[in-house]
Amino acid sequence: MKADQQPSGWDTPPDETLARPALVGALAHMAIAAVLADPHGVGTMLGSNGWRRALWEADRLLCPPLVESRAHRQIIASAVTVYFRQLLPPPQWSLLASEPLVSGTRPDVLWRHRSGRLLADEIKTGHTSLDLTRTRQQAARQLAAIRSTHGDAAIGIRVLSTRAPQASWFLDSAGGRGPMPPGLYRQPLRDRRHPAHVPWTLRDGAWTPGARGPPTP
């Protein structure tokens, strides 16, 4: 991505529509998928230009930018940054597909371990939606579909919150729901929403570079 390169836009809905959390979440999913599709995307997000890349993806989806869209820009970029900085699986896992169609369901991301095991991600941009009945049912349907296609290779699905990573949970292959097991994420899921080495602040419902965030417990 060149410094003078302009993000390409799409038919952006009216800003009052963008205020709907579901659509802002959908845009965040699109931004994450775009980074995953870029061979250099993960490396960029984990480097010093990660926040800039996240903002670029948000601008690309919100093009042409509107004054009223600034909050949405921050929320989208924050979700992308938190996913790659805190919730990305360890390096032993490689991308198999982004938003694949699996037996009528579409998990957000499908990962493959070097041993052949499979892991799915369902990404939520808000913490309040994690415990809804429809979220639990959605995760169960996706896991059942993946297991019907890939069998015992599918070990479970991670239901991830980019706004409150510590609230994320895991649905294992036996249908058991519990906290995220060690080894399925790169960063400790502490009670903060950003990497420890970056100063951030909560603004318009999203963590963005600025002042220090909440103290480390």
Q: Can you give the pLDDT at residue 56?
A: 96
Who contacts 116 (Cβ-Cβ below 8 Å, separation ≥6)?
153
Helical H runs in the chain? 15-18, 21-37, 41-46, 50-62, 70-82, 133-150
Residue 5: DSSP 8-state: P
Q: Can you give the pLDDT at residue 67?
A: 60
Domain ranges of the chain: 15-88, 93-179
Fold of 93-179: tt1808, chain A (3.90.1570)
pLDDT in 10s for each residue of the chain, 217 residues:
443 444 444 444 455 544 467 788 899 999 999 999 999 999 999 999 999 999 999 999 988 766 667 888 999 999 999 999 999 999 999 999 999 989 889 999 999 999 999 999 999 987 666 778 889 999 999 999 999 999 999 999 999 999 989 889 999 999 999 998 888 888 766 544 433 334 344 444 444 444 443 333 2
Q: Can you give the pLDDT at residue 155?
A: 96
Q: Can you give the pLDDT at residue 5?
A: 45
Closest by CA to 123, choosing from 112, 111, 115, 40, is 111
